[in-house]
Amino acid sequence: MTKENSCAQIKLITRVLSTACLSSMLLCYKLWLPDRNFPLTPVFEFSLHNNLLAISITVTAFICLALIIFLRNPQRVIIIFVFASVVLALLDLNRWQPWFFQYTLMFFILAFFNFRCDDLRYQQAIINTFKLMIAGIYFWSGLQKFNPHFLTDTFPWLMEPLGTMFGTQTSDNFNFLGYAFPLIETGTGICLMIPALQKPAVITAASMHCFILLVLSPFGHNYNPVVWPWNIAMITFVFILFFHESAEGD
């Protein structure tokens, strides 16, 4: 992989990351404001009584995300966002959403990148770190589905829209997927780290996210739009990080 290719990957990931994070934060904007019906739950025994300062931190985070999308070298802005996101997380445990935790960690890694594309080894280290992170998410997500609750509660709920669209009898034919889902997702995480299996793993991951988007969309449960951008971002991440490389290997 050349310096130009790896740098282009990082820059594209940065823009996708910023867009997805900004979209999700805007969709649940009340979570990031101090004045709301549900009380803040700070990590430490203190609270920020200055609402204007708390709102300023949130606005700063939003502005940073918007700037990162368009700036050619957003390193300094990324650093500011990381600090702002850490403060926001410390002020309220409810903000520790999995997608926000993932995005902040990815931005933390990008904060050490100068965006000048002059160090292939460092660029490749960032790409490899992101690969390990994304593959680990699929592996752990599949692993934690090996529990009775998923089979008896979560999976039937996921299949309800298919019953509405195609009839209950048709959806019942897919009940075996309740047992297969954990294996497929865990296997996807493993296969993403094996060059010869990356392309089918990418297609499998994208298919899973498309299914989830269908279930959560207005055509399904019309539920939790905050994670819609995350699903789209994950599809983009796996294609950027794994599919292109697999194609080059072929």
Query: pLDDT for 97-119, tens place per residue?
Result: 999 999 999 999 999 999 988 88
Q: Which of 33-42, 189-198, 211-220 has the lowest mean pLDDT?
A: 33-42
- Pair 57, 169 in one domain: no
pLDDT tens by residue, 174-195: 677 778 899 999 999 999 999 9
The residue among 74, 97, 118 that closes a domain is: 118
- Pair 76, 179 in one domain: no
- Pair 111, 159 in one domain: no
Domain that includes residue 159, residue range? 120-250
Distance from CA of residue 169 to its chain's centroid?
34
The burial of 11, by beta-carbon neighbours within 10 Å (0-12 exposed, 13-18 middle, 19 or more buried), is given as middle
Q: Which residue has the higher pLDDT, 244 or 94?
A: 94
- Pair 162, 203 in one domain: yes
Backbone phi and psi for residue 37, each to the nearest 5 degrees, phi listed first? -70, -40
Q: Which residue has the higher pLDDT, 86 or 249?
A: 86
- Pair 65, 102 in one domain: yes
Q: Residue 48 — very low, low, confident or very high, per pLDDT cuts 50/70/90?
A: low
Number of domains in the chain: 2
pLDDT at 248 over 70: no
Dihedral over Cα of 112, 117, 120, 126: its sign: positive
The residue among 118, 137, 158 that closes a domain is: 118
Query: Could you give the percent of the chain with pLDDT greater than 70?
Result: 89
The burial of 191, by beta-carbon neighbours within 10 Å (0-12 exposed, 13-18 middle, 19 or more buried), is given as buried
- Pair 147, 163 in one domain: yes
- Pair 156, 226 in one domain: yes
The residue among 93, 118, 143 that closes a domain is: 118
pLDDT tens by residue, 8-35: 999 999 999 999 999 999 999 999 998 8
43 DSSP assignment: S
pLDDT score recorded for residue 245: 62
Q: Residue 2 — very low, low, confident or very high, per pLDDT cuts 50/70/90?
A: low
Contacts of 5-8 with C-beta under 8 Å, sequence gap 24+, read 6/120, 6/123, 6/124, 6/126, 6/127, 7/115, 7/117, 7/123
- Pair 250, 132 in one domain: yes
- Pair 139, 22 in one domain: no
Q: Residue 170 — very low, low, confident or very high, per pLDDT cuts 50/70/90?
A: low
pLDDT at 4 over 80: no
- Pair 90, 144 in one domain: no
- Pair 169, 66 in one domain: no
- Pair 99, 23 in one domain: yes
How does the average pLDDT of the chain come out, rounded? Answer: 90
| Whole-number CA gyration radius for the chain | 20
pLDDT score recorded for residue 45: 73
